[in-house]
Structure 1
Amino acid sequence: MRALAVDGSPESVEHLIGALAAALDGSGPAVVPGLVEVPAAEVPDDVAVVIATSGSTGEPKYVMLTAAALTASARATEARLGGPGRWVLALPADHVAGVQVVLRALLAGQPPVVQDVREGFRPAGFVRATRRLPHGARRYVSLVPTQLLRILSDAGAALHALAGYDAVLVGGAALAPALRERAEAAGIRVVTTYGMSETCGGCVYDGVPLDGVDVRVAEDGRLLLGGPTLARGYLGDPGATAESFAGGWFRTGDVGRIDDGRVTVLGRADDMIVTGGEKVAPAAVERVLAAQPGVGAVCVVGVPDPEWGSLVAAAVVPSGPEPDEKALRDAVRAAEGRAAVPRRFLFLDELPVRGIGKPDRRAVADLLAVTPVHIPNDPTR
């Protein structure tokens, strides 16, 4: 294995590009993007990339991605988006989403244009990266919701640049409906993605699986993913591999449903809130709140309560003046029922995040645990 420090600079990404190209064609060893300590275990010959991921539990896992799976993912993305094109890399290249941008670009015949994100994502830097793309070629970029929001808020040249892309993949965290509507109203061609390191990144686009990808719902409500983009397993952890990969399926930690072939992710199974004996899916509450006027971003968690077991609580980033709490509660009650109504609200300038932009639910829960209850207990519960 070859571990590479990828700090977001164009120089470090250039080294990664060469190493990935060699790993894909078999002339070089498997690549580990990022200087992490991986288990002292034998890497199968067909593995090209090992992604270190902490997931939602904080426990490290080392996902083995084969050249065949990575290529299948990149080709399926290319087909879904309408053909090969030039990519801008605006994500950290030590995450699977960043690695996939590099691989898609290489398979399309040109390396990606790299935005320097060592000091964080800046709309002005995105404009400079976009200007380096050739005219006439299809343009693609992959972003997280926070980056999309920054470009929309910055407006001006960055928004004009983003509107010129043939597809803007948005993943890593749930995209609020209001944010998507705002982006599309500005002419942005948004494509939401769902996937994880174990599926070579996004494998479901706008709720529809990529060609060759299979999705099922297990008896316990968890989503099962199958097809050619699945990882080989976890390096040095046969127990975890056997638990998560079986019979050609990867057992995700997400609860979801499938309606007429379209996948809806309801949230993490371990994020489900049990309040007064009733189960509440945080993602369902987040969707309702995110659709309300004045809500820019939201994260819903459960916080301990001696009477109810857990209380539903929400951290909200306003898009302007603070929205009315009663209006927010009423909207949730109408859509999801009394049990789902948040008992606590906390308004923040921005949500705590981890990784490439996922809300840090543990940090949010810690903040909400000391936030006073805003409404009395509902005697009808």
Structure 2
Amino acid sequence: MTQRPQPDDRFRIRTLRRWYAVSWVVLGLCPPLVSVLDETGTARFWWSSALLAVIALCWAVVVALPGNRVLRPYTFLAVLALGLGGLAWARGDGAALFIVSLPHFWLLAGNPRNAIALSGAAAAATVAGITVHRDGDPDLLTGNIVFTLIGYTAGVLLGLGVARIVEQSDERARRLSVELENAQRRLLDAHRLQGATEERERLAREIHDTLAQGFASIIVLAEAARASLDTDPGRAAQQLLSIENTARDNFAEARVLVGSAPQGGLAPGSVSGTLRRTLDRFTEDTGLIVTAELPEVECDQPTRIALLRCAQESLANVRKHAAATTVDVVLALDAYGVELEITDDGRGFVVEDSRGFGLNGMRKRLAELGGELTVTSSVGDGTRVLAVIPVNGRV
């Protein structure tokens, strides 16, 4: 896996190369040109000027057209090595220009092996050019050869050190990239698992609040109808009709859960009308006394569904556990939002000891809408369930 330079890294690399290019022109190419200006017209002047012009032109083409197929960086490095040798032959020196030009080989050669080989070829060409030159001071010529060899050796050591540092940095960057990808993959798996878990919880809550409650009602009604067949056929017929209606409702809810019917499970309408129909069915099935205050309240479909599910769960608990005789239901809209309060006069229970799925499901359903559920009860004193959901910007 190759670690690509980031935009900031590429900007810094380009900046460094520009600064080096300026330094190379000022400290490398200009001094030889200036030194031969007083020899205008001589062969040394023309040779030096021509070689410097070729090196500069070749470098300019490589920099301006880095992707061209005619003049690649290796071609420039070869021209540079030959040019360094030619200038050393024409001028009798060349160590300074060679040392200033060394970074080109490490920047453009592509890898340390090629950089060492090409810069070695340039060092050899420079030394050969100085050796062939006949007009200079022998001590000066020897000094240039020594400095060329020292510069080459130092350049190799420094280049290998920098290459090692860069390699280690790239390796760390690759490891960090792999660790980041692994962390992202684990995070994605965790999110996927969390999503699946939340979806299972949602389906479990929907099944509990709809199908399970419906089947529980069917069982209770069926037992009552069987007991009334001989003593009260009319009552038994009414209970059978309730079983049929409940089964139809369960079938509709099942179609919603499997996705073959529109989401929501409820026909559009007011929340008070929906609650009224639910209470009428409850009264018809149980025979309990139900008093209700259900004014018209404006709310959206999710709020209406949440209030209905809370009412269904509370009424189911009254039927199964409360042994109540009366149930009071109050729907109201106040400064905090829409409130649904359901109170019964049953046996009550200890709220802290309750571990039922229904209460937790109601709390989670209301929490998804920013609301909350409050349950107040004690043994022998009945139960009060209060659901509050913010509506129309109320907090």
Structure that is richer in helix per residue: 2
Q: Which has the larger radius of gyration?
A: 2
Same fold judged by TM-score > 0.5?
Answer: no
The TM-score with structure 2 as length reference comes to: 0.21
The TM-score with structure 1 as length reference comes to: 0.22
